[in-house]
Amino acid sequence: EVQLVESGGGVVQPGGSLRLSCAASGFTFEDYAMHWVRQAPGKGLEWVSLISGDGGGTFYGDSMKGRFTISRDNRKDSLYLQMNSLRPEDTALYYCVRGGVVITTTFGHWGQGALVSVSS
């Protein structure tokens, strides 16, 4: 069974940094592209970032470029999101999501999310 468990969420001041982690199990992690998708309270879904299975390709949503960095450790079956220069509008539930073997494949499996709150 595919399992994705996020951790690292919390409260941070504007301008601060936070690192999210996602522990994956139940599948061959290195074979799959992985994503972060976020959802602000009471709002819709917003794609944050994508990383290819070998980690060689990374892509970001426009409002995240230059502030967020996605990475993975295939030896540890783990996905990460380093978030810097955080803004109040980054407050959201951040989901770790499994993509596909092809990086443009849609979002097949979702974690339960890690809550990030940016507030002074």
Token representation of residue 100: 């596909």
Residue with tokens 């380093």: 82
Residue of 27, 46, 71, 74 interacting with other proteins (CB under 8 A): 46
Which span sits near other proteins by CB under 8 A: 8-16, 21-29, 65-73, 97-105? Answer: 97-105
Residues 6+ apart with CB under 8 A from 108: 2, 97, 98, 99, 100
- Return d(Cα 71, Cα 49) in angstroms, integer: 10
Q: Which is nearer to other proteins, 90 or 99 (CB)?
A: 99
120 is a contact residue toward other proteins (CB under 8 A): no
Which span sits near other proteins by CB under 8 A: 7-15, 21-29, 42-50, 79-87? Answer: 42-50
Tell me the backbone φ, ψ of residue 83, rounded to 5 degrees.
Answer: -115, 120
103 is a contact residue toward other proteins (CB under 8 A): yes
